[in-house]
Amino acid sequence: MTIEKKDSNLEKKSPKQRFLLVIGIILFLLYLFLGIMVIFWKQFPLEMEFKYRIAFGVLLIVYATIRFLRLIREN
Q: pLDDT tens digits for 10-53?
A: 567 788 888 888 898 999 999 999 999 999 988 878 888 889 99
Q: What's the whole-model pTM score? A: 0.74
Q: What is the pLDDT of residues 29-41, one digit of tens each?
A: 999 999 999 999 8
Q: Does any domain span residue 45? A: yes
- What residues contact residue 28 under an 8 Å CB cut-off, 6+ apart? 64, 67, 68, 71
- How is the chain split among helix, strand and coil, in percent rounded to 5? 80, 0, 20
Whether 55 maps to a domain, the answer reads yes
Domain-located, residue 10? no
Judge whether 12 lies within some domain.
no
Comparing CA positions, the residue from 33, 23, 34 lying closest to residue 71 is 23
Say if 14 falls within a structural domain: no
Burial 4-23 (b: 16+ CB within 10 A, else e): eeeeeeeeeeeeeeeeeeee
**Overall domain count for the chain:** 1
Residue 40 lies in a domain: yes
Q: Is 16 a member of any domain?
A: no
Q: Which domain holds residue 42?
A: 25-75
Q: What are the pLDDT digits (tens) for 49-65?
A: 889 999 999 999 999 99
Q: Is residue 15 part of a domain?
A: no
Which SS3 state, helix, strand or coil, does residue 73 take?
helix
